[in-house]
A and B are shown apart, each in its own frame.
Chain A
């Protein structure tokens, strides 16, 4: 690997981490679309900042762009508060207008500025190693690396300091307010961090990938864990994994790095969406199938308990009585046998003691919803979980 390659992967990874942290909270606050709005509407801030400083990595430019980001959030909330339109509509109204102001500003000055709309939308990671930071004439690395590195350090510092505040105001803003943790302060703090991160990442990965890096890793992590800290760690890992694997995908395909990273994020989400152990599609389908079988089993056992007459319990006549297909009857019969809940004596099915017990307890649970007695059964049966 050349040093440029290492630098690109390092920048992409730092951007991914810096995005995943605010992204996790945006996803939990159901504010994913706000990151889309911010990433587009900071454009005029970037353009104006660029006109003033002539430097895409200047702190002034980052500040101006972050302010535009906050203005976006305030405008969206203001329009929404009028009650005339819903939040998504308000977002859709605000950011295209701000973005187009930026586009017009670029177009008007396109000749003497090296800033174009393509680069803004998609970014160009491949060029980041060329723009070096010189301190006293010494090359200390790409400017983007320093910019995103600083932003990441601040983000991590804030996360450690205010983790508890972020958690409580995200989960229960009312309680946070009553305990003296102003949800507004935390909200705008998070919005500021999101805006600053977006600007810092913008130059490297562009407006579209920033959104992907904020939302996709967090959404993927959300499917895998029920612990906020772990969700943050997973989101960061997914972000970094996509950044590095995306880089090599681009290398192999000779395609856009930003595009390849986003593709990896998409593939990763799809994989987890399908195969996640609890919330994944396949796990859910399996659970549903299992529950269906368990309900059948219970229905069958209940039928046996309620009927003493032999014709109701004859193996060959069970289909008619419970009105099931042959296959289903067979599955249920085998399941009950395997669990020692029934015995078949001369084609007549009877409940065992275990079967009787189980049936009573299960029915009791379904009727009264009293958990205590059923706790031990939850491990064996999906029916009684969740």
Chain B
């Protein structure tokens, strides 16, 4: 059992138009895990990470990152939104998008310079996108766009990474490339939280899992709790998953 708690969520309730989409969530995520959040559509997976990141305001409950509020710990956290959440026709290049990851440490008004550019180039190198640095972002394939987003998070050099469906619409090669980078992050004792859809790959990719369907169903090590019982509770149907050892 790991001892340091990276993220603690207490009694979190979030509502859209007074209709709760997350009910009374209590969650403790230990440092250094690679965790999947799984659950059916509308289960509140994205809502949960957006609430932790202060993008949405909960109607009740609190979140702490290493014991302090998110506002105080911003620098420790990087976020990869869903690829579909931005307009890829925006007039900018791959390198420029990755540079955006450095804006948080710069704060208001101050502009990125050579140091930030160097960091961004290194991050592009890590995700294998250096040859595409000057490519307009709409000229990239879906998998390449996802790598750019990942590079943008890497450039923040955070302790905790949140990713909203990073494998959506990417091919197998990119998926493997991304998961390898995530595993490297875990090795460096970073905490990685991923909204994930493909249940088949959970045991292979992740060591920690949270089942979510408006309420928290279960959370813990994959080897202990990733079973048919929890899957059935979460997805409502009799779920059978074959786990390859």
List chain A positions with a Cβ less than 8 A from chain B.
Answer: 28, 30, 83, 161-165, 167-168, 170-172, 174-175, 177-181, 222, 225-228, 230-231, 369-371, 375, 385-386
Find out whether the CB atom of A178 lies under 8 angstroms from the CB atom of B86. Answer: no
Find out whether the CB atom of B71 lies under 8 angstroms from the CB atom of A180. Answer: yes
7 contacts across the A-B interface (CB closer than 8 A):
A28-B90, A83-B17, A162-B108, A164-B103, A165-B108, A178-B74, A227-B92
**B85 at interface by CB-CB < 8 Å:** yes
A227 to B90 Cα, complex, angstroms: 9
**Cβ proximity bits B171-194 to A, threshold 8 Å, 1 near / 0 not:** 101000000000000000000000
Find out whether the CB atom of A386 lies under 8 angstroms from the CB atom of B139. Answer: yes
Find out whether the CB atom of A369 lies under 8 angstroms from the CB atom of B109. Answer: no
List chain B positions with a Cβ less than 8 A from chain A.
Answer: 17, 50, 53-55, 71, 74, 77, 79, 81, 85-87, 90-93, 97, 100, 103-104, 106-109, 111-112, 131, 136, 138-139, 141, 152, 171, 173
Find out whether the CB atom of B100 lies under 8 angstroms from the CB atom of A178. Answer: no
Find out whether the CB atom of A162 lies under 8 angstroms from the CB atom of B109. Answer: yes
Find out whether the CB atom of A177 lies under 8 angstroms from the CB atom of B53. Answer: yes
CB neighbours of A174 from chain B (8 A): 50, 55, 79, 81, 85
CB neighbours of B81 from chain A (8 A): 172, 174-175
CB neighbours of A370 from chain B (8 A): 173
A-B interface, 3 closest residue pairs, ranked by CB to CB distance from nearest: A179-B104, A226-B136, A178-B79
Least Cβ distance of A365 to chain B in Å?
Answer: 12
A371 to B71 Cα, complex, angstroms: 41
A235 to B54 Cα, complex, angstroms: 35
Find out whether the CB atom of B103 lies under 8 angstroms from the CB atom of A181. Answer: yes
In chain B, what residue has the closest Cβ to A179?
Answer: B104
CB neighbours of A178 from chain B (8 A): 53-55, 74, 77, 79, 104
A160 to B85 Cα, complex, angstroms: 27
Least Cβ distance of B117 to chain A in Å?
Answer: 13
Find out whether the CB atom of A172 lies under 8 angstroms from the CB atom of B85. Answer: yes
Least Cβ distance of A322 to chain B in Å?
Answer: 30
Find out whether the CB atom of B141 lies under 8 angstroms from the CB atom of A170. Answer: no
A170 to B180 Cα, complex, angstroms: 31
In chain B, what residue has the closest Cβ to A279?
Answer: B89
